Amino acid sequence: MTINLFFQHLANAISLGSLYALIAIGYTMVYGILRLINFAHGDLLMVAAYVVFYAQGIFHLPLLPSVGLAVVLTTATGVIIERAAYRPLRNSPRSTILISAIGISFLLENLAIVVFGGRPKSFPLPQWLDIGSAAQIGQVTIENITFAIPVVTVTLLYVLLYIVQKTKTGMAMRAVAKDFETARLMGISVDRIIAVTFSLGSALAAVGGIMWSMKFPQINPLMGMMPGLKCFIAAVFGGIGNIAGAVVGGFVLGVVEIMIVAFLPDVSGYRDAFAFVILIAMLLVRPTGLIGEKAAEKV
């Protein structure tokens, strides 16, 4: 493995990792508040991608309005899902709400198959992101999109952290995440805060989905399942409920995935399995993740 090869791999890894990080943030936010693995998060990715596809293809909207429309529609979808499928189950045992999440995920996927058709479609890319538009740094080639993704991720991260740490809504979100009942006693409208969290998470998923489609311009109804699972693993790895942890987890997962295939090409067929192995190892060794906090279980 020459040093150039290594750097190329590293560039790929950072590109993939920042994508995972972006989506993992949405996951971790929802989990932090509701203690729910939103299986449908990955499918919101897919929804956003298709909205942009149709907005550009059928309505011929330019890029930015399409993205805006996608974010709005995906956020709406996320909030509707929360209202319809998760809110009624707030007092039910955890397994019930998990089943509901799985059901919604399958529903979205199958609806997409019926409405959009099962064939993969080509995602429309703006000129400056299209193939061939890559930068050369020495022997290493980096696609333009690879620069865009970390920038977007970090920007959104800052915006999110600002909202969570410095605004009143953010404080309310932290309060609800810490203790549901007490927050309610303090006069916080828990329903509203949860809706806000979901919209933020869904908006992030939408942006993540669009970035994903720009990097891998092939969209199909099942495109969100694996990324969704992997990003959940990334969030858990970094510490579920912790935004910075999600980012760290995403990058680590991206790097590990690429590096394993780089150093051991024979196991490239097992690539997805490694994410699960990492998860299980992490859960056994340090269940709260890299940056997570210990939560005592109250009896």
Site for another protein in 103-122 (CB under 8 A): 103-104, 106-107, 110-111, 113-114, 117-122
- 248-277: contacts with another protein (CB under 8 A): 257-259, 261-262, 265, 268-273, 275-277
Sole binder of another protein in the list 3, 59, 62, 88 (CB under 8 A): 88
**Distance between CA 247 and CA 235 in Å, rounded?**
8
Nearer to another protein, 144 or 169 (CB): 144
Taking phi over 0 as left and psi of -120 to 50 as alpha, with beta for the rest, 184 belongs to: alpha
Q: Per rule CB under 8 A, is residue 91 in the interface with another protein?
A: no
Pick 191 or 272: Cβ nearer another protein: 272
* Cβ-based nearer residue to another protein, 188 or 194: 194
* Token pair of 179 as six digits: 């203790």
Q: Minimum Å distance from CB 107 to another protein?
A: 4
CA distance 162 to 50: 30
Residues 20-79 that bind another protein (CB under 8 A): 35-37
Sign of the four-CA dihedral 99, 116, 209, 166 = negative
- Decide: is 137 part of the binding site for another protein (CB under 8 A): no
* Residue 157 contacts residue 243 (beta carbons within 8 Å): yes
Question: Contacts with another protein in 224-253 (CB under 8 A)?
Answer: 225-226, 229, 232-233, 236
Q: Which of residues 188-217 bind another protein (CB under 8 A)?
A: 212, 215-217
Q: CB of residue 157 vs another protein: minimum separation in angstroms?
A: 22
Question: Could you give the dihedral angle defined by the CA atoms of residues 71, 74, 76 and 77, in that order, rounded to the nearest 10 degrees?
Answer: 180
Q: Does 220 bind another protein (CB under 8 A)?
A: yes
- Site size toward another protein (CB under 8 A) is 77
Read off the tokens for 16: 């993939």
* Residue 3 sits in the site that holds another protein (CB under 8 A): no
User: Please, which residues have CB within 8 angstroms of residue 144's CB and are 6 or more apart in sequence?
Assistant: 128, 129, 133, 134, 135
DSSP for 67-94 reads HHHHHHHHHHHHHHHIIIIIGGGTTS-H
